[in-house]
Chain A
């Protein structure tokens, strides 16, 4: 008798749990269905805002968020993964590109950068999108903390020359931070490589519609 009783109890408990899980899943499906379009639109706007921080809004009028191409170049673009390139066009003519690249050798792992370059190879702006550098030392790369990152604006592959594309401690022309040389060094190197990549592949970037490889 007792055995049957306890067996029944477990079955009821099991059903109860199943119903709860089903209700919970149903609720999540509903909430997800409701919020998905909003979230997609919000993410698009955020991306656009980030892109506009390295790209003056008056030099393009295409839908830059969807006008993208992917590139792979382990040597110049920071790793084996695909790099996203956003293509800016003014009245259908190429005007600039924004490359989302990785500086692989930060002090605490990779640093994700956005680099905006115009058609003459000059830098329009650089922003750090994601990093894990030490707070208080390496995080001067964020625009909220210092304007160091703006020191790239207007530079190009020949200005300064290859020797100048280093931090001051290594004989170059970019400042390092007190107590943090590795972080700025990683970013300077990454930005320089992006410029080299852009110069080599400028034509392909705007004509190709598929993945660019080496």
Chain B
């Protein structure tokens, strides 16, 4: 694998083709559980694990998959991986399961996973696909956590509440009361708040991309201008 390839996979997953902000995939679980930062983190990590596993498996069997039946094959693979994760989590990490349990089956409804299987893993080597899964999952997780933080601050006036439920006792120090004696703002916690917050995040992302693009055009123009003055002097 070349370095530039690594870079483009990483950039694609985290920014250019971010599954939540650009592809707008996986909105169902995204909006359903991003009411607090810890919920967001939980679903994000579970999604990331699923994405890596399904990408690796799909990539490994990609030579045997036929075009006509690729979608049902992907569905079988994803459903198996998610079910296995859910069962193993219930068996060996039961406390975590009690918190994330409701999110895990939701992962199946995340079209980002079948999207990556179809668009990337079925055409690329195992290592590349694993990295793609990791980065796409990470990009998704970051958006989920930010969205959760925004909604939590506005809705509950706190950040990382219930962190100890997921990460263990030590994490209770993470929970910060951002606004003292806050009565709460229901709108942010309910689904409309999720849509609004996500819209704001997408707008910010688009603005940044736009600025980046403008800067590139400007520097190209300057280069061009310098060249024309140079040639006119001649």
Q: Which residues of A contact B (CB under 8 A)?
A: 9-10, 12-13, 16-17, 20-21, 24, 27-28, 31-32, 34-36, 38-39, 42, 45-46, 134-137, 144
Contacts and interface: CB of A to CB of B under 8 A. Distances in A.
B5 interface: no
Contact of A20 (B76, B87, B90, B162): B76
B66 interface: yes
Contacts of A10: 68
B77 interface: yes
B98 A28 contact: no
B211 interface: no
Contacts, number: 67
B41 interface: no
Given A17-B69, A21-B76, A24-B77, A31 B83 contact: yes
Range class of the B interface residue count: 20 to 34
A149 B98 CA distance: 22
B55 interface: no
Interface in B93-111: 94, 98
Contact of A38 (B83, B92, B155, B190): B92
Interface string B147-158: 000000001100
B5 to A, nearest CB: 30
A46 B155 CA distance: 30
Top 4 A-B pairs, shortest CB-CB distance: A35-B91, A38-B91, A42-B94, A136-B184
24 contacts: A9-B66, A9-B68, A16-B64, A16-B66, A17-B69, A20-B76, A20-B77, A21-B76, A28-B84, A31-B83, A31-B88, A32-B87, A35-B92, A36-B91, A38-B91, A39-B91, A39-B94, A42-B90, A135-B35, A135-B189, A135-B190, A136-B155, A136-B156, A136-B189
